[in-house]
Amino acid sequence: MTWTIIHIIDMTLWLFMAGSVVYVLFFAVASKFNSGKTQRRPRACNDRRHTFLVLFPAYNEDNVITTSVSAFLNQDYPADHYHVAVISDHMRNDTNNKLSLMPITLHKPVFENSSKAKALQYAMANCDRRYDFVVVLDADNVVNSDFLIRLNTACQYGYSAIQCHRLAKNTDNDIAVLDGLSEEINNTIFRKAHNNIGLSSALIGSGMCFDFKWFTDNVRLLSTAGEDKELEALLLMQGIYIKYEEDIAVFDEKVASKDNFQQQRRRWMTAQIQCLSSMLPHVPAAIRQGNIDYIDKTVQQMLIPRSILIAAILFFAGLSLVAVPVWSMKWWALLAVLCLSVIMSIPGNKRFGTTLRKVTAMPNLVWKMLANIRHIDKNDTTFTHTRHER
């Protein structure tokens, strides 16, 4: 009787984790097949040159913000067709003085409890001109001079929400490389593969572009530290498709220390649980309306983070190998499928180069992820800043 109960628990845990593995496998395979016919295009291409409001929310970002803004102002795009606004929150006077000399709008709000959502809300509430689109960048983001040219071309097809391709701009240590690699895997599974089969891309927090009116109307609804997940849920609830533009690069500074990595992932895991809690009540309506995008996004919030998934499968594979060796076979098979799916999701130019030789840093980072679990509070809306040292 006891072994029967243990076997049931073992199978239940295996099925629970297999759900996440199958999801990753399905989209890893989908990323390899793109006929181009599944890409949604709302209307025919036009030749209009759109106007852009570019927002840089910057909380305590004195080390990077002036470099990022200076680089952005070198766009090969008419200066009267875009405008940069920096929301300076808790930044030094010397940083603000440098920014004030640039042809931008400098907002200096004073928040009792800071958050990126509040910064975006403040900027839109104080915007005195109408634009066609809003671009959201992080304070450390750097883009190429043809960024707006490429984005304008994508906007000409009528997309109301676009996620650009965020790439690592620093590869100076093992943690930064693995962080960048993790993001590329997410780009493949949650963005490229989704668009390949006609589903919406996931948002990522920066390198995002939205229809100006839609963003103005909806940004005020944001209330958590996972503003990108909230925006995504709002878009999908309203039936708005999110396009992933793989050829529009946004270079992002990856975390380079274990403590920053742990802090960042804790914030992401908390935001994931908060998003799931807010989305679940709307699932019945999404099912009735046939809103596959919204249902898929809800399922995404249920997925076990990959690093925790790998650690958990390894643990149960080892445990069952000692207790009942035959039971371990299904765990090893699940681990093999997950590893294959992850390898398939890594861009070919990074799959067998120096990147995979950085795996020595993985055990410690997985432990950091596991340690985060006991600190997750779904009611915590505190903004946690990831410090940039550059």
Model confidence at 359: pLDDT above 50: yes
What's the rounded mean pLDDT across residues 205-229?
92
How many Å apart are CA 260 and CA 388, to the nearest integer? 9
Model confidence at 205: pLDDT above 50: yes
Which residues are within 8 A (CB) of 326 and not within 5 positions of it... i.e. 6 or more apart? none
Q: In what order do the strands lie in the sheet with 52-59?
A: 105-107, 82-89, 52-59, 133-136, 208-211, 161-168, 242-252, 142-143
What's the rounded mean pLDDT across residues 266-283?
82
pLDDT of residue 169: 79
pLDDT of residue 273: 83
Domain residue extents for the chain: 2-33+303-375, 52-281
Q: Is 376 exposed, middle or buried (0-12, 13-18, 19+ CB in 10 A)?
A: middle
| The two structure tokens encoding residue 4 | 């029967």
Tens-place pLDDT, residues 56-104 = 999 999 999 999 999 999 999 999 999 999 999 999 999 999 999 999 9
The band of 365, judged by pLDDT with boundaries at 50, 70 and 90, is very low
Please, what is the average pLDDT of the chain? 85
Tens-place pLDDT, residues 228-266 = 999 999 999 999 999 999 999 999 887 655 566 566 667
> Which has the higher per-residue pLDDT, 48 or 25?
25
Tens-place pLDDT, residues 321-357 = 888 888 899 999 999 999 999 989 988 766 555 555 5
Quickly list DSSP for 30-56. HTT---STT---SS--------EEEEE
Which residues are within 8 A (CB) of 263 and not within 5 positions of it... i.e. 6 or more apart? 384, 386
How many Å apart are CA 222 and CA 267, to the nearest integer? 16
> Which has the higher per-residue pLDDT, 270 or 100?
100
Tens-place pLDDT, residues 28-68 = 999 988 755 556 666 656 678 999 999 999 999 999 999 99
Model confidence at 305: pLDDT above 90: no
> Which has the higher per-residue pLDDT, 223 or 287?
287
The Cβ of residue 215 has, within 10 Å, a number of other Cβ atoms equal to 25
Tens-place pLDDT, residues 279-299 = 999 999 999 999 999 999 999
Total residues found in the chain within this entry: 390
pLDDT of residue 26: 96
How many Å apart are CA 123 and CA 108, to the nearest integer? 10
CATH topology of domain 52-281: Spore Coat Polysaccharide Biosynthesis Protein SpsA; Chain A (3.90.550)
Give strand pairing partners of 57.
Answer: 87
Tens-place pLDDT, residues 144-184 = 999 999 999 999 998 999 999 999 876 666 676 777 788 89
What's the rounded mean pLDDT across residues 358-380?
51
pLDDT of residue 381: 52
- CA 378 → CA 32, 237, 266, distances in Å? 36, 22, 11
What's the rounded mean pLDDT across residues 366-377?
51
pTM for this model (two decimals):
0.86
> Which has the higher per-residue pLDDT, 335 or 384?
335
pLDDT of residue 223: 84
What's the rounded mean pLDDT across residues 103-116?
92
| The two structure tokens encoding residue 20 | 């996440």
